[in-house]
Amino acid sequence: MRRRLTLPLVSAVLAVAASLMMATPAAAAPADKPQVLSSWTQESVTSYNAWLSARNNQGAWSAYGFDWSTDYCSSSPDNPFGFPFSTACARHDFGYRNYKAMGTFSANKSRLDSAFYADLKRVCAKYSGATKAACDSTAWTYYQAVSIFGVSPMVDGTRSVA
């Protein structure tokens, strides 16, 4: 008698466990996703390098569900006057897309734009003289454009300036 009672009980417990497992999203992002995203979208060179390393090894971060897509500098040149701004634009897109997806874009936009400007200034720091001045001026223009006109790219059907 004991065996007959145990078997239905075990079956019921397994059925409940299976239904709970199906109800839990298999692709749920780790709880520290906001902290990781924040660490990759700061103004510092350390933050930039951490993001770049992760971007080059996206598979290691797949559980987080980050949106790595980019249109680089949108409708602006990615490398204006030969200045390589495309990676800075890609990181800016990363921040915009992922904060928008988390619903916290507005609270982070200003910092994302400032980090973008810091990235552009690091590009310009490699130059000197009139070339550096031209790069700095172009970087300022790109920063002002995203600061004033930047919106969440492609997430809400619009495009950003950078």
Residues 150, 154, 156, 158, CA torsion sign: positive
Q: What pLDDT score does 160 carry?
A: 43
State yes or no: is 92 an active-site residue: yes
Q: What pLDDT score does 4 carry?
A: 52
The upper half-sphere exposure of residue 66, i.e. CA atoms within 13 Å in the direction of its Cβ, equals 26
* Spans of all domains in the chain: 29-149
State the Cα torsion 143-144-148-150 to the nearest 10°: -30
Q: What pLDDT score does 27 carry?
A: 59
Q: Is 153 helix (H, G, I), strand (E, B) or coil?
A: strand
Q: What is the mean pLDDT of each run of 10 residues along the chain (162 residues)?
A: 48 42 55 98 98 98 97 95 98 98 97 98 98 98 96 47 46
- Count the Cβ atoms, other than its own, within 10 Å of residue 51: 23
Which of 40, 73, 74, 92 is the catalytic position?
92
Given a contact cutoff of 8 angstroms between Cβ atoms, the answer to whether 162 and 142 are in contact is yes
Q: What pLDDT score does 126 carry?
A: 98
Phi-psi domain of 157 (left: phi exceeds 0; alpha: psi -120 through 50; beta: other):
left
Per-residue pLDDT tens over the stretch 78-125: 999 999 999 999 999 999 999 999 999 999 999 999 999 999 999 999
For the entire predicted model, the pTM comes to 0.78
Q: What pLDDT score does 29 carry?
A: 86
Identify the architecture of domain 29-149 in CATH.
Up-down Bundle (1.20)
* φ, ψ at 157 (rounded to 5°): 85, 0
Q: What pLDDT score does 25 carry?
A: 41
